[in-house]
Amino acid sequence: MAEQAPSPADRPTGSTDEASGAPAGGRTAAPAGHPHDNASVANRLAALPQTARAEVFTQSANGLEFSGYRAEPAAPDPGLGVAVLVHGWPQYASCWEDVAGTLLAAGMPVLAYDQRGYSPGARPEAVEDYDVRHLVADLDALTAALGIERFHLVGHDWGGVMGWAYAAAHPERLETFTSVSSAHTLAHGQRMKEDEDQYARMEYLRKIRHHPEEFSAAMLRDGGARLASFYQDAIPAPVVASYLERFAQPDVFDAVLKYYRALGSADPLPTTPITVPTLYVWGSEDIAFTRGAAELTGEFVEGPYRFAELTGASHWLPEERPDAVAEAVLAWVREHA
């Protein structure tokens, strides 16, 4: 990893630091991903008029240490509860910055964290340690450690994949669940078998599983040009640059590819029944999930369900359509408050 001066990740486990400038002791080098690292995001959120406080944290949970940021609104709405925002691949918690700003303006506290493989202190070696059941256990342990009993889960991409399993396993801890982009696991699997288009869209997954080293080298070659193309020009260039800088650090990209390599390494974690109020936000131009998978998703939800299509939007909704995502979440939360 790029050397950085004392930062939230370097401080004692479980510590939080109010985001009000450079870390104590000064900064000798900007962290990888600056200015879209967690500390920079927390600083910008803290400066918003709708924010009472924003801070970065490093928290021990499930045997690992997770990095993230959280923020409290200046005018909290006690009926809303807290939103826990979980990113996907290949992104970081910083992808939620603009979504978080809109939620805070509505009076909703927010928390976002870098998942295992992304957090420097949560990077196990074994492929099987990246199975979905471990992602579910991470979320459960982390929120409990941070004193959050019940929450609104919002997950994008792998955050959504994990979210379907979490909603099935821990409905008692969720007020609502929102999957951003990711179809229900069973809907996706069914359409993979039935639809040549959906099968073809997962070619990158097969490359990762069968040729991970070649895939990693190809994605990071020439300054990450091929990886940058994954974002379809839907994400601002400075944000893409921040992702590429972090993934270029030793062992990071190989770690996050283990999500795909771990598929099938253990018995699948059940993703039904889904009884919590569930919102699915999908962009009509999604590169990964077809309309067929998106429209089939509702058949696997037993509780209240809404499908929200964002016409003309890509897969990368947290960065491309943050206001639309946040507004959809807020409407769903208020309906089920």
Tens digits of residue pLDDT in 102-127: 999 999 999 999 999 999 999 999 99
User: How far is residue 284 from each of residues 161, 176, 292, 329, measured CA to CA in Å?
Assistant: 19, 23, 11, 18
Phi, psi of 115 (to 5 degrees): -70, 175
**Per-residue confidence (pLDDT) for residue 23, from 0 to 100:** 43
Is pTM beyond 0.85 here? yes
Per-residue pLDDT of 57-114, as tens digits, reads 999 999 999 999 999 999 999 999 999 999 999 999 999 999 999 999 999 999 999 9
Per-residue pLDDT of 250-309, as tens digits, reads 999 999 999 999 998 888 899 999 999 999 999 999 999 999 999 999 999 999 999 999
3-state SS class at 24 = coil
What confidence tier does 243 reach under pLDDT thresholds 50, 70, 90? very high
Q: Where do the domains of the chain lie?
A: 8-335
CATH class label, 8-335? alpha beta
Per-residue pLDDT of 3-44, as tens digits, reads 222 233 333 334 444 343 344 445 568 899 999 999 999 999
Do 164 and 188 touch, CB atoms closer than 8 A?
no
Other C-beta atoms closer than 10 Å to the C-beta of 31 total 24
Tokens of 175: 């007020």
**Per-residue confidence (pLDDT) for residue 12, from 0 to 100:** 32
Strand-pair category, 110-113 with 151-156? unpaired
**Per-residue confidence (pLDDT) for residue 268, from 0 to 100:** 86
Kindly state the average pLDDT of the residues 131-149: 98
On the CB side of 12, CA atoms within 13 Å amount to 1
Of 3-17, 171-185, 216-230, the one with minimum mean pLDDT is 3-17
Distance CA 20, CA 324 (A): 29
Q: What mean pLDDT value characterizes the chain?
A: 92
Distance CA 337, CA 315 (A): 28
**Per-residue confidence (pLDDT) for residue 221, from 0 to 100:** 97
Do 282 and 289 touch, CB atoms closer than 8 A?
yes
